[in-house]
Structure 1
């Protein structure tokens, strides 16, 4: 037991006389300090172990906060160039080099930067952020209007869970026209089309929404034919993320609990503390793992959805076979099933994974930034941490016993 040293055959601390008078004296003094008796007449268990926050816990809290911020910035901003690359590969049905591995993209990116400016892979970032913000706003409005839970943690029954999933479906369906407009902005070539204004995503989105039936532009699919597969993809990814995160949290907590039980500072209440930095770190790791797994699993479905969105929009994209030319997107899919069968028949199963190398680069950069942030924050927190004075555990034991008996 921490703070009381080893125990003899009577399970008593050092220096404790086994006779009853000494036991009573110790028990009386113990009551004055801790407020209750200790059952020395049966078996001594030691004082209640309270695990205070250590400097290491404080460091873990700083690191966890920094990693959360870095992960949020990376996912929404720094990953955008890789998202542009993978989307351009996904919608390019005649692409010869599938770019399933990352190294094939590197010379293409270098040629893109030479033939265009340095912002060529940052196109559409404004509309992408607007669509994400619009999604959050729609969820908030629907939740307040219906009383449905916006967060899955607040679902205490099956009915509330179904309401929560319905809320996700409705919000995804509402923003689908604007997502389609944002997708066009991220894949169209800068040298073949004018750069859109920041709020053009709203204008194009409302135009797609007004054309709910048969659109007036060529082979463009009606928005209702895109809404249902897009909403299904969004909700499926969300459910997969929740399930994977829950399983990962349980596994990591089981490993952490076993590790903690084997340590010298075991405390049964420590794992129940919601503010425990270790618990927050576990949740963060689970979020990262579930995000990576979800992106890999749903990549082929995302390829099909993006092709349906881009069809008939007269979009001209950069040719990622060369990196120096442009090419128009001309497809005639009739729907999700037709797009899947046509893609597999003409491009093979690997055609569903076009641009997968860009996803690998995106995830690798994401993990590298998190690792770098962890190292930097850990080193800075160690430099700012006050020096610890050396202590002798055995001297501390005797001092505690001397205080109790004097």
Structure 2
């Protein structure tokens, strides 16, 4: 590459066609435009051919990594996190629990005793009904969207009316699946050694039974379903909107940081609206994970109250997570959301709203660890499979472009 910047070694020949810019009176070489995609004035000093940045090799690994992280995050959130969800829900509904398990390490000996006393699958109970309820929620939203024409996704909204329609659709879908969510919650927290294992489709039977008992349930202290629908729908839609707002703010912050970092680089076009852009997908993924984790932490106390209202009067017997070797029944008599909140604060203190928070910490730590591991594995695989670039060939390509321009 000796003499790369010295153009005296090349004999300059007049180009085939010249054009003059009417506004600036600059003369442009159209052959240079054909090679590099833009004009260069001949009456300006030539600085050499531009550096052509081939970012294909950079975008492909980013695409693979982003896709792998999305899949890993989806599997972790819906399947691999279930044992931690079981632990936290059992702690949340246990109003007489002495050890609040706010920190993770207090749960480890309890989990070890549960596995010794019960089967290995003791923390996977209710996984079938949980997946069914999530699928039912998606199906209800899809049907409502097709029947009413309301937007199912937030990004499909283009006016205030459509935003209101979208929120209404979410509220209706949450209200419809609330009875089935109650049935799934019971299957998730009840002890295997104190009750028969439910069948896969029992969640539908128990859910319809809660709907039939809309007015006055036949079981003693069980709250009517209409008294649970309103706080459940309010909790669900508030958490959803707060997550959307936080995600939007996070996306803007990350885009600003990326724009500031790569403002002089054409290969990182942060203003591109192409949904397949690996950089945009990566930013959206990071924002989604951050907003999910933040909302899980912020709304944990409200979730505790909602779960206690759902489980009340169902005659559920859960594992005693004080010892891990016994069971205990759930006996509460709350009159509603605010009565549950006031009773919990009065009898258990503020910490009562955070019972089982250590299980949430373990869940989020495992979630982040799986994402990190997936990133490392996919990065190593893409580096191994990526063909080696030859510096000599790259230099020769640039030199040939320069010779073609001046010959």
Could you tell me the TM-score, scaled by structure 2's length?
0.90
Partner of 1:82: 84
1:27 partnered with 2:17: no
Partner of 2:275: 274
Deviation at 1:380, TM superposition (A): 1.1
Match of 1:168 among 149, 164, 170: 170
Matches within 5 A, 1:14-93: 27-31=29-33, 33=35, 37-41=39-43, 52-93=54-95
1:244 partnered with 2:246: yes
8 Å CA contact retained: 1:60, 1:277 = yes
Partner of 2:333: 332
Match of 2:179 among 173, 177, 180: 177
Gaps of 5+ in 1: 7-12
Partner of 1:383: 384
Partner of 1:9: none
Change (3 A) 1:16 1:128: farther
8 Å CA contact retained: 1:240, 1:294 = yes
Change (3 A) 1:268 1:75: closer
Match of 1:122 among 124, 132, 150: 124
Number of residue equivalences: 395
Deviation at 1:391, TM superposition (A): 3.8
8 Å CA contact retained: 1:15, 1:401 = no
Change (3 A) 1:27 1:223: same
Partner of 2:193: 191
Query: For 2:318, what is the secondary structure of its paired residue?
Result: strand
8 Å CA contact retained: 1:26, 1:404 = no
Deviation at 1:256, TM superposition (A): 1.1
Q: CA offsets per residue over residues 203-254 of structure 1, 9 Å max, x none?
A: 0000001111111100000000000000011101111111111111111111
Matches within 5 A, 1:363-402: 363-391=364-392, 397-402=398-403
Partner of 1:348: 349
Cα distance in 2 for partners of 1:46, 1:58 equals 29
Partner of 2:317: 316
Change (3 A) 1:399 1:52: closer
Q: CA offsets per residue over residues 37-67 of structure 1, 9 Å max, x none?
A: 4333367798888765421210111111111
Partner of 1:105: 107
Partner of 2:24: none
Q: CA offsets per residue over residues 136-162 of structure 1, 9 Å max, x none?
A: 000001010100000000100000000
Query: For 1:327, what is the secondary structure of its paired residue?
Result: strand
Partner of 1:297: 298
Gaps of 5+ in 2: 19-26
Change (3 A) 1:50 1:246: farther
Cα distance in 1 for partners of 2:108, 2:13 equals 80
Deviation at 1:274, TM superposition (A): 2.8
Partner of 2:22: none
8 Å CA contact retained: 1:27, 1:37 = yes
Cα distance in 2 for partners of 1:269, 1:171 equals 36
Q: CA offsets per residue over residues 11-62 of structure 1, 9 Å max, x none?
A: xx95599x99789698253255467743333677988887654212101111
1:144 partnered with 2:146: yes
Cα distance in 2 for partners of 1:171, 1:312 equals 25
8 Å CA contact retained: 2:129, 2:200 = yes
